[in-house]
Amino acid sequence: MPDEKEQLFLCKPCAEEMKNYKTVASVEYIRPARDKGTCELCGRRRFGYVCEVEYRDVEREDVK
Ligand SMILES: [Zn+2]
């Protein structure tokens, strides 16, 4: 199964926080946004980054 990736607009604090999520394998900054946008995690309008978020299937890993 291929890794699930998604591009999201995130402010930097949210991008850093997502890295700590169990369901997130990695967060890569693709490019900084020129204009303010709505962060898809906190919903605030601020400068941020277009990020590529790679998810992982934790439910499967948690089965022991
Ligand atoms: Zn945010």
- Tell me the backbone φ, ψ of residue 61, rounded to 5 degrees: -70, -30
Instruction: Give distance in angstroms: CA of 45 to centre of ligand 1.
Output: 8
Instruction: Give distance in angstroms: CA of 34 to centre of ligand 1.
Output: 16
Instruction: Give distance in angstroms: CA of 2 to centre of ligand 1.
Output: 27
64 pLDDT tier (thresholds 50, 70, 90): low
- Whether residue 3 contacts residue 54, with contact meaning beta carbons closer than 8 Å, is answered with yes
Distance (Å, rounded) from C-alpha 5 to C-alpha 41?
16
- Tell me the backbone φ, ψ of residue 22, rounded to 5 degrees: -65, -30
- pLDDT tens-digit readout, 7-58: 999 999 999 999 999 999 999 999 998 899 999 999 999 999 999 999 998 7
